[in-house]
Amino acid sequence: MRNRRMPESDYISRLRAAYLDLMRDSLTGRLNEDPPLPSSKVEGYKPDYREQGWDWPSKAPSMIGTLRMENVRRECERVIAENVPGDFVETGVWRGGAAIMMREVLAAYEITDRRVVAADSFEGFPAQTDADTNFTVGGIADFAVSLDAVKANFARYGLLDEQVIFLKGLFADTLPSAPTQSIAVLRLDGDLYESTRDGLVLYDKLSAGGTLIADDYFLFEGQRKAIDEFRSARGIADPIIRIDHFGGYWVKR
């Protein structure tokens, strides 16, 4: 209930924050303590696992956990507040959860001139390479989520519209001609060396002040190698900020 002495703008800010908090917890399965998929080999719902994204929810649309979901939300909010131009892009969407959060932030701020680009094979991972030394989840059927299923998840949150662009296919084929001129948040969640390297083709479209998120920088050696090679080749010195056990990001200066 609104306190009569509270300015309306403060009240709207509070409502927006409450909406995005609720969405973070719904999208990660924290809200309903969604139990883990058997393939994630974790027994029962564990709050600390869901916070860090150490298990994969049975039904909720994202496996990234609440800390990395909060990072998606905060970086999207930050670039809006700082007028950093561009779309929000995720490469590797699985059931769509993090991309749904991107679209939710646009909805919460009534922004109609930015889009969300969601790229995936919608058929699971391609073959891994020798660089993906500690990647062990490639063949798991739970990672193959169809485009129709992802669209249904967006629709369930009332967010399936023309502001969301789906790119179906391997990143190497779809991203070089991705229909976006400038990007404010670029989130790489393809896990693998080549998938990360192929996502970095979009880096030149990332605006100054925009954010590059590497979902598994501190987990998968393949992703870290691709990022480290790219940063070294480009002379990028913007510090990588740790989000949680697995994820990192930097702001392009």
Give the active site residues.
Answer: 70
- Residue 128 CA to residue 211 CA, distance in Å, equals 26
Among 91, 100, 74, residue whose Cα is nearest residue 243: 74
Give residues in contact with ligand SAM (CB under 6 A): 62-64, 90, 92-94, 97-98, 120-121, 124-126, 143, 170-171, 189-192, 195, 198
- Residue 155 CA to residue 105 CA, distance in Å, equals 16
CB-based contact 67:246 (threshold 8 Å): no
The residue (of 113 and 128) whose beta carbon lies closer to ligand SAM is: 128
Distances from the Cα of 151 to the Cα of 18, 72, 157, 239, angstroms: 25, 20, 10, 35
Q: Which residue is nearest to ligand SAM (CB)?
A: 92
- Residue 213 CA to residue 202 CA, distance in Å, equals 12
| Residue 13: CB minimum distance to ligand SAM, A | 26
| Residue 110: CB minimum distance to ligand SAM, A | 24
| Residue 238: CB minimum distance to ligand SAM, A | 22
The residue (of 86 and 247) whose beta carbon lies closer to ligand SAM is: 247
| Residue 62: CB minimum distance to ligand SAM, A | 4
Enumerate residues 6+ apart whose C-beta is below 8 A from 46. 54, 55
| Residue 100: CB minimum distance to ligand SAM, A | 8
Among 39, 57, 38, 61, residue whose Cα is nearest residue 47: 57
CB-based contact 87:182 (threshold 8 Å): yes
Query: Both ends of the chain: CA-CA distance in Å?
Result: 41
Distances from the Cα of 85 to the Cα of 99, 117, 143, 186, 206, angstroms: 18, 15, 32, 12, 9
The residue (of 114 and 197) whose beta carbon lies closer to ligand SAM is: 197
The residue (of 94 and 166) whose beta carbon lies closer to ligand SAM is: 94
